[in-house]
Amino acid sequence: MLPRRPRGLSARMRLTLSYAGVVVLTGGLLLAVVSLFLLRYVPDVSIPSTFFVPNRNDLLRAFVPRAAAAMIALIVCGLAGGWLLAGRMLAPLNRIGEAARLAAQGSLSYRVALEGRSDEFRDLADVFDVMLAQLEAHVAEQQRFAANASHELRTPLAISQTLLEVARADPERDVDDLIERLQHVNSRAIELTEALLLLTRADGRTFERNPVDLLLLAEEAAENLLPLAESHSVALRVTGEAVPTIGSPTLLQQMIANLVHNGIVHNLRHGGTVSVHLSRQADALVLIVSNTGEAIAPEVLETIVEPFQRASTRTHSGDHAGVGLGLAIVQSIARAHDATLLLTSRHGGGLVAEVRFRLDER
């Protein structure tokens, strides 16, 4: 931070002095005009006349004291009026400053809520209120995410500790069984940690953007997940046209893989399908991943993109329910690529995920 100079006059005082200066300057110019263009035509010698005719000196003696009094009155009025007007003009900034101080102290619920007609101060206050609302929502989301992540990470560690304590208390326990269970728990912890790191990377947008074809990524993701689909008797199809865009190939492939994997493991019947379709529309590049499965309630659709939220804990036999970050990662990757994710229930059961990439920035 750059070193600050000693505090000077307040903005209100500077505005007050400016207003007073303008008033005094205007009055001075008016008096100068009078003296230059009026008194110059009055002779400075006595004029013989039956009546008293003042000359220039007489007028100056009568005019100067009153002009000085008028200037003093202008200064007083300029300072008093300027102080009041400056205070009224700066009142919105004081409210915005108070909101900023409260936000710096951690209170993000305060809103300026500036009333009155729209002007520069009202626009600034509205923008500041929107920023506070977004910060409050972001902080609440981060706190909720941290709490959920801590809980989810604590579970495999607690299981590992319990297994080790049981093994210590029972020296005759099967070591191979213990190792296998510990390996399974450790794999779950690693999977969760990697998902958290990927989610953080997408949220932070710390990646390079390169040309990429979404159709090729979809075909590669489907090829990698084909053994899993075949093991569950789920048909996996990729259709559409080449859809070039700009983004991170790694993150975009992870997004597609998460959607396809989610469709496979939540396909609750053999003979189900997972389809991936890509198309170019007038205003967007569209990726649609749909799968058969159980019907999803509308209220569930609103929450399953949140971290650690699941549409269902029931999956194919032998599959775990996941760490609850798959769709949250999809949402973050889409948002990081300025795309939108829309989830809808499929007619007859299942889920349809639509990701729309805007064309105007490609």
Calculate mean pLDDT across residues 168-175: 75
Reported residue count of the chain is 362
This prediction's pTM: 0.55
Residue 311 has a pLDDT of 53
Please determine whether the domains at 143-204 and 210-358 fall in the same fold group of CATH: no
pLDDT higher at 240 or 321: 240
Percent of the chain clearing pLDDT 70 (strictly above): 79
Please give the structure tokens belonging to residue 9. Answer: 């006059």
Beta-strand pair 235-240/273-280: parallel
pLDDT digits (tens, 9 = 90+) for 214-232: 999 999 989 988 888 888 8
Are 202 and 336 within 8 A, CB to CB? yes
Q: Which helix (H) or strand (E) holds 341?
A: strand 339-345
DSSP 41: G
Whether residue 166 has pLDDT greater than 80: no
Of the chain, the percentage scoring pLDDT greater than 90 comes to: 11
pLDDT of 333 > 90? The answer is: no
- Return the pLDDT at 216: 93
Task: Check whether 48 has a pLDDT greater than 70.
Answer: no
Domain ranges of the chain: 11-107, 143-204, 210-358
Say yes or no to pLDDT of 354 above 90: yes
The pLDDT, as a whole number, for residue 318 is 47
pLDDT number for residue 66 = 81
Q: What is the pLDDT of residues 80-127, one digit of tens each?
A: 888 888 888 888 888 888 888 888 888 888 888 888 777 888 888 888
pLDDT score of 239 more than 90: yes
pLDDT winner (highest mean) among 57-71, 101-115, 291-305, 312-326: 101-115
Number of alpha carbons in the 13 Å side-chain half-sphere of residue 107: 9
Could you report the per-residue pLDDT of 268-297, keeping only the tens digit for each? 666 789 999 999 988 889 999 999 888 887
Helix (H, G, I), strand (E, B) or coil at 88: helix
Residue 315 in this model has a pLDDT that exceeds 50: no
Helix or strand (DSSP H, E) at 238: strand 235-240
> What is the DSSP-derived secondary structure letter of residue 3?
P
Rounded Cα–Cα distance for residues 352 and 277 (Å): 11
Q: What is the mean pLDDT of residues 293-319?
A: 63
CA 216/CA 165 separation, integer angstroms: 49
Distance CA 357, CA 243 (A): 10
Range 196-212 average pLDDT = 74
- Which of 47-51, 63-67, 204-208, 345-349 bottoms out in mean pLDDT, i.e. has the lowest? 47-51
How far is the C-alpha of 284 from the C-alpha of 276, rounded, in Å? 17
**Strands 210-213, 284-291: parallel, antiparallel or unpaired by DSSP?**
unpaired
Q: Which CATH number applies to 143-204?
A: 1.10.287
Average pLDDT of every residue of the chain: 79
How high is the pLDDT of residue 63?
75
Class of domain 210-358: alpha beta
Cα–Cα distance measured from residue 183 to residue 205, given in angstroms and rounded to the nearest whole number: 33
What pLDDT shows up at residue 320? 43
Per-residue pLDDT, 81: 84
Q: 233: which 2 tokens?
A: 């008797």
